[in-house]
Amino acid sequence: MHLTTLCNTSLDNPTQRNKDQLIRAAVKFLDTDTICYRVEEPETLVELQKNEWDPILEWAEKRYGVEIGSSTSIMGPSIPARTREVLVSHLASYNMWALQGIEFVVTQLKSVMLTLGLMDLRLTVEQAVLLSRLEEEYQIQKWGHVEWAHDYELRELRARTAAGTLFVHLCSESTTVKHKLLQE
Amino acid sequence: MAALGPPARTLRGLLRELRYMSAGTGRPYRDTEAYRYLVKAFRAHRVTSEKLCRAQHELHFQAATYLCLLRSIREHVALHQEFHGKGERSVEEAAGLVGLKLPHQPGGKGWEP
């Protein structure tokens, strides 16, 4: 009942946050964004992270005209203030309900970049979830998967992310249908 | 842009999910509002004069996201039933584990109505 839950959360606003606070909470995640936080070993995982995550970072940097970069340090990536500002003003274009949805997806995927990718239709839900769970999928490939844990959690994450994404899009869109006459 | 595949595949997936959901209710899935809406929407938005129509892509993306939602919820519930849904054993079953049977008192216990 994820969509209903999101609606109820938006109606009740149980954490009593205003728009600014929601936006800042979401952008704060950038400091520990999954796709910016890289490992140093094993070598194959480093490669995998580079091949899968770098394209998304590049896309985001180009799309928003900001610098993000990745880091292997324990402190995480250092995000320039300008990047933060740009993202804050971009998120400000969404309404309160959509922001609840965005913050929900960010919390699920542990990544602002992946969430932006979903909102801008750059990634499908399945792709975003896979990228979010990249290390886990890597370990599953190596050591085998446990159906009652791995598959269970994967389906749950997909369901929540799909619900959040759908929620944001439905809260943000406006549909106009223009019927054109067929030229004979 | 996200790799979505042909819209026909998304529609088929959505109809399949509808079929699974309607299987429990006994009502044929073609009879539901959801079915009529989906078929109408996919048909109506198929034709567009622009080669690279962003709005059409957005709608398809929404449909694909909805399909992902339905599918993963169904699979999640199925996995839950299979692995996590058993709950506690009843008293009879617990006794049966060690080869005992519950006592049977004809006339019931004193405090039962």
Q: Which residues in A lie closer than 8 A to residue B1 (C-beta atoms)? A: 121-122
Helix/strand/coil for A71: strand
d(CA A114, CA A78): 18
φ/ψ of residue A99, rounded to 5: -65, -35
Find out whether A69 and A77 touch, Cβ atoms under 8 Å: yes
* Residue B106, domain member (yes or no): no
Residue with tokens 């290390």: A135
Residue B91 lies in a domain: no
Is residue A135 within 8 Å of residue A53, measured between CB atoms? no
For residues A110 and A128, give the distance between their C-alpha atoms in angstroms, rounded to a whole number. 11
In a domain, B16, yes or no: yes
pLDDT at residue A184 is higher than 70: no
Q: Using 50, 70 and 90 to split pLDDT, how confident is the model at B48? A: low
Does any domain span residue B43? yes
**pLDDT computed for residue A91 by the predictor:** 93
Which of the pair, A159 or B26, is modelled with greater confidence? A159
Bond preceding residue A55 cis, omega within 30 of 0: no
In a domain, B44, yes or no: yes
Average pLDDT of the residues in B13-37: 87
Please report the pLDDT score of residue A123 as a whole number.
94
Q: Which single residue is written with the structure tokens 């509808």?
A: B18
Would B109 be classed as within a structural domain? no
Q: Which of the residues B17, B65, B67, B83 would you substitute to probe the A interface, choosing the one with the greatest number of A C-beta atoms within 10 Å? A: B65
Residue of chain A nearest B61, judged by CA positions = A121
Task: Determine, yes or no, domain membership for B24.
Answer: yes
Of A127, A166, A180, the CB nearest to B66: A166
pLDDT bucket at B59, cuts 50 / 70 / 90: confident
Domain count, chain B: 1
What pLDDT digit, counting tens, does each position of A11-26 carry? 998 888 899 999 999 9
| Bridge partners (DSSP) listed for residue A71 | A37
| Secondary structure class of A37 (helix, strand, coil) | strand
pLDDT per residue as tens digits for the range A32-53 = 889 888 888 889 999 999 999 9
- Domain region containing B54: 7-86
Cβ contact A91:A103 at 8 Å: no
Domains (ranges, CATH) in chain A? 2-172 (1.10.3580.10)
Q: What is the mean pLDDT of chain A?
A: 89
pLDDT score for A111: 93
- Which residues, including other chains, have CB under 8 Å from residue A54's CB and lie 6 or more apart? A70
Please tell me the distance from the alpha carbon of residue B68 to that of residue B94, in angstroms, as a whole number.
40
Predicted confidence (pLDDT) per residue in A98-148, tens digit = 999 999 999 999 999 999 999 999 999 999 999 999 999 999 999 998 988
Residue pair A158/A125 in contact (Cβ under 8 Å)? The answer is yes
Range list of H helices, chain A = 2-12, 19-28, 43-64, 81-91, 96-109, 112-119, 125-132, 134-143, 152-172
Whole-angstrom CA distances from A11 to A8, A17, A20, A84 are 5, 12, 17, 28
A172 touches chain B (CB under 8 A): no
Percentage of chain B with pLDDT > 70? 88
* pTM: predicted TM-score of the whole model, two decimal places: 0.84
CB-based contact (8 Å) between A123 and chain B? yes
Chosen for mutation from B76, B77, B81, B82 (greatest number of chain A CBs closer than 10 Å) is B76
Q: Which of B68, B10, B38 is nearest to A159 (CA)?
A: B68
Question: B76: which chain A residues are within 8 Å (Cβ-Cβ)?
Answer: 152, 155-156, 159
**d(Cα A49, Cα A159) in Å, to the nearest integer?**
24
> B62-111, pLDDT tens digit by residue?
999 999 999 999 999 999 988 887 777 888 888 888 888 888 877 777 77
Provide the pLDDT for residue B17. 92
Tell me the ipTM for this assembly: 0.87
Cα(B63)–Cα(B41) distance, rounded to whole angstroms?
A: 10
Would residue B61 count as lying in a domain?
yes
